[in-house]
Copies of this chain bind each other. A is one copy, B any other.
Amino acid sequence: MNLALAYVDQNRDKFLADLREILTIPSISTDPERKADMQRAAEWISLQLRGLGMAKVQVMPTAGHPVVFGEWLGAGTSAPTVLIYGHYDVQPPDPLELWSSPPFEPEVRGDYLYARGAADMKGQVLACLKAVEAIVRTGALPVNIKWLIEGEEEIGSENLDLFIQEHKDLLACDFCLNADAGMLAAGEPSITTGLRGLAYYELRVHGPAKDLHSGMYGGIVHNPAQVLSELIAGMHDAKGKVMLPGFYDKVRRLSPGERRDFARLPVRDRMYREQAGVSALWGEPGFTPAERVGARPTLEVNGLLSGFTGVGSKTVLPAWAMAKISCRLVPDQTEAGTTRQLRAYLKQRAPRDIRWELVYLHGAGAALTSTGNPGVQAMRLAMKEVWGKEPHFLREGGSIGVVVQLQRHLKVDSILCGFALPDSDMHSPNEKQHLPTWFRGIETMVRFVHHLA
Contact = CB atoms under 8 A, between A and B. Distances in A.
Given A214-B328, A312-B30, A427-B213, A278 B229 contact: no
A352 B30 CA distance: 36
A321 interface: yes
A231 to B, nearest CB: 8
Interface in A79-97: 91-92, 94-95
A314 interface: yes
A274 to B, nearest CB: 10
Contacts of A280: 222, 352-353
A39 interface: no
A2 interface: no
A451 to B, nearest CB: 29
A276 B223 contact: no
Given A210-B428, A216-B397, A225 B304 contact: yes
A361 to B, nearest CB: 5
Given A30-B312, A229-B228, A230-B233, A216 B396 contact: yes
Interface string A309-325: 11111111110011110
Interface string A379-398: 00000000000000000111
Nearest to A209: B277
A92 B310 contact: yes
Contacts of A361: 312-313
A284 interface: yes
A357 interface: no
B278 A214 contact: no
B362 A313 contact: yes
A399 interface: yes
A413 interface: no
Given A221-B283, A304-B309, 4 more contacts: A92-B308, A208-B276, A217-B276, A221-B278
7 contacts: A92-B310, A196-B215, A210-B425, A228-B229, A303-B318, A314-B324, A316-B428
